[in-house]
Amino acid sequence: MSKKFLTDVIVKSTEMPTLAANALATDIITAIKAEIVESGRFTIPDFGAFIVRETAKRSALNPRTGEKVAVKAGATVRFKASPALKDAALSGMKKAKRKAAKA
CATH for 41-103 (2.40.50.140, 4.10.520.10, 1.10.3720.10, 3.60.40.10): 4.10.520.10
Q: How many CB atoms lie within 10 A of CB 81?
A: 13
pLDDT classification of 48: cutoffs 50, 70, 90: very high
pLDDT the model gives residue 92: 84
Give the global pTM: 0.71
Q: What is the pLDDT of residues 19-33, one digit of tens each?
A: 999 999 999 999 999
Residue 103 above 80 pLDDT? no
Domain positions in the chain: 1-39, 41-103
For 68-102, the pLDDT digits (tens) are: 999 999 999 999 999 999 999 998 888 888 888 87
Q: Are 80 and 90 in contact (CB under 8 A)?
A: no
